[in-house]
Amino acid sequence: MKRKDKEITDRMEIESILSQARICRIGFSQNNKPYIVPMNFGYKDGYLFFHCAQEGMKIDIIKQNNNVCFEVDINHEITDTGIPCDWSTRYSSVIGFGKALLVKDPIEKKLALNVIVNHYSPKAKFKYSEEALNKVGIIKIEITSMTGKKSE
């Protein structure tokens, strides 16, 4: 990272940003062509979880190339200095890399859905029908590295 003064190295602070973020953007690459998708997500124990359809561009790309990157950000604020080229933005963000896996096991799907639901509605408990579990796709990203950045 070029600006070491903005780098977040504390793992708990990075995980706090992940817990507060509402959207995670996943970057895929197919035949050297980038594809970015904003998604609802959940984070737990070094993994990101996403629910999706079982078919589509994301799934096709993962089957060919499961290397992904991701980004979340929170606490956005533009600081207007009155000089257009001297404005700034306050934020906290996390950028990382990992391997995307398609979850097929119904028990693991339930656990992943619980992580996602808990991210948006803590303490909520849900039951998932067998039909719903058969229909839903789950992407699990095993995080291999991530860094945090804060601009104040």
Mean pLDDT of 45-70: 96
Mean pLDDT of 15-35: 96
Q: Is the dihedral angle over the CA atoms 66, 17, 15, 9 positive or is it negative?
A: positive
pLDDT one-digit tens code per residue, 72-124: 999 988 888 888 888 888 899 999 999 999 999 999 999 999 999 999 998 87
Question: Which position has the higher pLDDT, 36 or 76?
Answer: 36
Tokens of 40: 């609802």
Task: Please give the mean pLDDT across all residues of the chain.
Answer: 93
In the three-class reduction of DSSP (H, G, I as helix; E, B as strand; rest coil), residue 150 is classed as: strand
Cα–Cα separations (whole angstroms), residue 59 to 41, 51, 83, 103, 112: 16, 11, 45, 11, 17
- Evaluate whether 24 touches 50 at the Cβ level (below 8 Å): yes
Contacts of residue 22, defined as CB under 8 A and 6 or more positions apart, other chains included, come to 40, 120
Mean pLDDT of 14-21: 96
pLDDT of the residue at 88: 83
Residue range(s) defining the domain that contains residue 25: 4-151
pLDDT above 90: percentage of residues in the chain: 77
- Evaluate whether 129 touches 78 at the Cβ level (below 8 Å): no
Contacts of residue 145, defined as CB under 8 A and 6 or more positions apart, other chains included, come to 96, 97, 98
125 pLDDT band, cuts 50/70/90, is confident
In the chain, the number of structural domains is: 1
Output the domain CATH number for residue 15: 2.30.110.10
pLDDT at 17 over 80: yes
1 pLDDT band, cuts 50/70/90, is low
Q: Roughly how many angstroms between the first and final C-alpha of the chain, as a whole number?
A: 17
Mean pLDDT of 50-63: 96
- Evaluate whether 14 touches 70 at the Cβ level (below 8 Å): no
